[in-house]
Structure 1
């Protein structure tokens, strides 16, 4: 643990006010469309980041067993829990396979012309401010008219997709210094599939990125590229032992939005040292094993012919072993 004390990875510590303003503007007329596309992920915008908790949790992550190891128990986020938080399905859905688009493909997917002044596209990223300046405001189309090869009516649809890319790239799959992974263009395209096409799920990809980020940060990576906002919500839900009634009455609807009401009686540690002490002393009898707002009649706990599951992440495959945390499904 002494070696880990020197680790202090960067992560999302505040939500970009431009992203928040973009969301406020869009949801006036298109909230239903965004909800269908992103589920409850837009509510991450209102979450107050807790980097002290995430940095303390890193000291307890076992990158070999892929669980948090505490004094007398193991704990790990599951597909079912992530799906419940973000209100997006995973059952009977195909896992997404990400692709790195060519620079012209990414721009074309947003109704834009090729732009040779953007070398970052060849490296697989674009800056948030590029997307915001061209799609984030009502007059963005007219301000950058020469860069588009679409009508203003078509731009309105592209604007929705650009927001989804920006939100995923800022809060769910963040990169350092405001960079947005252009692979997310394909992810958003798959999320927007027509009703007559097979439904695809982003849930395994989100979980894979969280788990991979935990492992690489334990090994020295200095930026947490997983969704630290979801991870902190998940952790606090388990660290607060409460009566079933709290989840029954406050667990319906949006799990991210009503999270503060469910946790209102939880006295959370304040700083890094306080969280570190809390986690060192945490015992199995003091945690919420199964989240009562979560229904798991068809929980996925193993592959067809192996004890682990391979999750397709944004940057490769991530092993996932829910058999090690069966108590989170109400099993012993």
Structure 2
């Protein structure tokens, strides 16, 4: 983990203390007499995307572009420096209880909160009470790409691929766009979309997923992405624990940063 992010973990100490105290006061949320039934060991796949190209792009940006990114999207780039310790992550998952939706370390129950994640990502400018809600009617994936990238619809349609049960575009497409686009705001937007897809919601490795473009659109309207990040984290952890195996589809970097902030 990069030293810069370790400093931010220390800054989060007061929020961690508040979170631990609040969770302790709330007490048990499961009906008395309930027994949790879990696999003895979960074989979890924590395969992540390779971030070197994203790190190189960020390192080459000048201060003005970086400040514009921070102002609009918080501290997302710091996640690129967080290396996922697969052994630690594998062991950490064994302490997740999907019935309680929390980690149980001995006699201590802990779970990431909205306040902690917002503090770690420096998303205080965003209205915390406005969670992302998926609308009933959506633009096509190609039209959303046009809106975000500023490219033509013909360009977008030609690059959309079907991968599994969802539509995607290869990360290489956006990588090339970031390198050549003259508009700084558009470069910031496209890099943000890339980090959301490659780091925060890595459903299709090496690709930008359609669902992330929808989230990106609403985050731009002063909604916070943190509830969606937490929801996907909880869903994936619970699915893997109940099945006894599976690939974690969530932001492993932020979850480990949260763990370091408490221990």
For normalisation by structure 2, the TM-score amounts to: 0.73
**Highest CA radius of gyration, 1 or 2?**
1
Partner of 1:330: none
Of 185, 210, 234, 2:258 maps to 234
Structure 2 residue matching 1:52: 3-state secondary structure: helix
**Post-superposition shift, 1:4?**
4.6
Distance 2:129 2:226 in 1: 10
Q: 1:184 to 1:50 in 2, by over 3 A?
A: same
**Post-superposition shift, 1:91?**
5.1
Structure 2 residue matching 1:5: 3-state secondary structure: coil
**Contact 2:160–2:168 under 8 Å retained in 1:** no
Partner of 1:219: 242
Identify which range, 112-121 or 76-85, moves more after superposition. 112-121
Distance 1:63 1:43 in 2: 29
**Post-superposition shift, 1:6?**
5.2
Partner of 2:162: 120
**Contact 1:101–1:183 under 8 Å retained in 2:** no
Distance 2:39 2:132 in 1: 36
Q: 1:222 to 1:178 in 2, by over 3 A?
A: farther
Structure 2 residue matching 1:88: 3-state secondary structure: coil
**Post-superposition shift, 1:119?**
2.8
* Higher helix content, 1 or 2: 2
**Contact 2:145–2:213 under 8 Å retained in 1:** no
Are 1:66 and 2:101 matched, yes or no?
A: yes
Partner of 1:161: 189
CA RMSD after TM alignment: 2.5
Are 1:108 and 2:132 matched, yes or no?
A: no
Q: 1:27 to 1:61 in 2, by over 3 A?
A: farther
Distance 1:235 1:222 in 2: 21
Distance 2:189 2:159 in 1: 22
**Post-superposition shift, 1:56?**
0.8
Distance 2:103 2:191 in 1: 33
Q: 1:62 to 1:160 in 2, by over 3 A?
A: same
Distance 1:34 1:23 in 2: 10
| Structure 1 gap ranges (5+) | 142-151, 194-198, 240-332
Q: 1:103 to 1:79 in 2, by over 3 A?
A: closer
Partner of 2:24: none
| Structure 2 gap ranges (5+) | 1-36
Between Structure 1 and Structure 2, how many residues are aligned? Answer: 218
**Post-superposition shift, 1:101?**
4.6
**Post-superposition shift, 1:26?**
3.2
Partner of 2:44: 8
Are 1:200 and 2:223 matched, yes or no?
A: yes
